[in-house]
């Protein structure tokens, strides 16, 4: 038996934050919103998916943002994306260099840490 691949990342969000999630994950990060299965939609939250990239946000009644644990996304033009995120009011932070990448961190609307990485040529 072996693990073959990661299917999706699940992040928590507070109840009622779906519009903010859509504005961030679809609007700024460009990950399409998809409909959750009907039997799961009543729980709230939202799913964003494109090909193998799947980010699901689920409502947690006792929500606390993930400020250390985080997903890392490979992106194009990380600095341009960081500027757009900052202009939209999101906290963008640089960190220690990582060999082979230009990278930044951004907080989603709920304070969850997201790493954005662009491979260097």
Confidence of residue 97 (pLDDT cuts 50, 70, 90): confident
Per-residue pLDDT reduced to its tens digit, 55-80? 999 999 999 999 999 999 999 999 99
Per-residue pLDDT reduced to its tens digit, 1-25? 898 899 999 999 999 999 999 999 9
Per-residue pLDDT reduced to its tens digit, 32-53? 999 999 999 999 999 999 999 9
Which whole number is the average pLDDT over 83-100? Answer: 94
Confidence (pLDDT) at 1: 86
Confidence (pLDDT) at 25: 98
Nearest to 29 by CA among 104, 72, 85: 85
Q: Could you tell me if 108 and 24 are in contact, meaning their C-beta atoms sit under 8 angstroms apart? A: yes
Class of domain 9-119: alpha beta
Residue 86 to residue 94: CA distance in whole angstroms: 12
Confidence (pLDDT) at 3: 87
């Amino acid at each position: 038996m072996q693990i073959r691949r990661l299917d999706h990342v699940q992040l928590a969000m507070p109840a009622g934050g779906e519009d903010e999630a859509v504005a961030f994950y679809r609007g700024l990060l460009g990950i399409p919103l998809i409909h959750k299965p009907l039997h799961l939609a009543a729980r709230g939250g939202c799913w964003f998916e494109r090909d193998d990239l799947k980010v699901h946000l689920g409502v947690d009644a006792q929500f606390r943002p993930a400020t250390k644990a985080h997903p890392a996304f490979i992106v194009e033009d990380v600095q341009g994306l960081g500027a757009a995120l900052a202009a939209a009011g999101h906290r963008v932070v640089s960190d220690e260099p990582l060999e082979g990448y230009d990278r930044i961190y951004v907080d989603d609307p709920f304070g969850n840490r997201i790493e954005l990485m662009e491979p260097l040529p």
